Structure 1
Amino acid sequence: MTGPVADARSVPRPRRAGVLVTFVALLAVAFLGFLALGVWQVQRMAWKHDLIARVDARVHAEPVPAPSRAQWPRVTDASDGYRRVSVAGEFVPGKETRTQAVTAYGAGSWVLAPLKTDAGDYVLVNRGFVPMGQTAGEPPQGRVVVTGLLRISEPGGGFLRRNDPAQGRWYSRDVAAIAQAHGLPADRVAPFFMDEGLADEAGAASDAWPRGGLTVVKFRDSHLSYAVTWFGMALLALAAGVFLIASERRLRHDRRR
């Protein structure tokens, strides 16, 4: 007699039982792993929906004064990120920093410049994007009022790349490190930066660089499809385990006949 049943019967019972337990254990681990990933995606979806709602409400609101030094310890991404703010002061000449960026215009840099406020503090202002090979215009001289989106500092660097202040290589907008590199007093530098300009209005008035208004305020929301995929994989792993156990029971039943 040949076929799968005959082959399974020809395997010694202890060995076959051990193989079955191993496969079922692996499927159980896979089931729990896929289930955990599905739950994580559901949690991420809730977080993303909250982020989208917060950002959408804040970017269309009227600007408010940027947090003062007394308020800095309470500034967080959840409470203040992407809030439209304004600040008055003068740009500090000769202390601009370029950080690596990619936008709809391709690869290039953000151009950040410290602004000394009327209160004597410093706020790092992201003046906008400059493509590779393009020249950035100088910041305006004299007292200005800058309006933009409050953003939380990005310490460390980018993906798999650390900032290198000594070489002037910046992959993230790390406020504290940039301020230190330019010799600004640490206790007077705001722990956030500002993206100058209004989102979705880049270059509306000029073709000059840097170009503001390129802050990403629309976010992909694919977490539901990811969650369904992981939960589907969990069900497949569960079904495979049930099938193996049911097949073993049928074999045992056939042996007793």
Structure 2
Amino acid sequence: MKRMICLAALLAFSMSGHASGNAESLVKACQSLKRQSDRNKCLEEAIKSSANAQPAVQAIPAAPAVPEAPVKEIAAKRAETIFASVAAMKSVIDIGVSYNDYQPYIQRIAVDLGQYRQAAQLPEEKDAVALLEKALEAYGDARDYWQADINFYSRRDNRLAYAGGLPTTMAGVGGIVSKYDIPVQKSDIWGINHGATRGVALSRIWSVADESVTAAKALLDGIGQTKDSAKPGAGL
């Protein structure tokens, strides 16, 4: 009985010292026993233990996930062309542009906005489209006011008689003046008509366009933000 206990202890000790299940180590452990019968019994138990041993299964590391481009960056990429067109318009306005050169910039914005309208997917993008359409409308209204101003003052006498600004009623620009809340003053020498100078009117209309473009950019910059984080003072 004692020999069996010693045999089991030796076998356990050998197994613990050789966790890899090395058969040669087990055989040497068994051969170290003095009695032949113990050695035979040890070898039998070693064979059984080796047969029952299960090889360790190594976990196969998962392939690294390919990071997806952030939604905000994708949306910004879709809007690159239209905002480039708007930026070009603002640049020529700032440095000074002639009426004839102004029209192609409107056409370019109209084309690019049409393409962006089709590409827009997110709610913020669609709202941005609406704001950019408002800006495009303002650019067009500025062109119409400008054309009316050119036509009216092409008559030489009007330059002197209506030096205070383009008379809104006579020139047919009352709708534009009201729409953009353009400040008016007495336009003629008699003090009968009121109107605005070209510079004042165009500056006001273009400022409305700029506000719409800025609001559209803010919408796209806010993509991915939670409602709580977008609130003023959130996180304080």
Question: TM-score normalized by structure 1?
Answer: 0.25
Higher relative contact order by CA 8 Å / sep ≥ 6: 1 or 2?
Answer: 1
Structure possessing the higher radius of gyration over alpha carbons:
2
Question: TM-score normalized by structure 2?
Answer: 0.27
Structure (1/2) with the larger helix percentage: 2
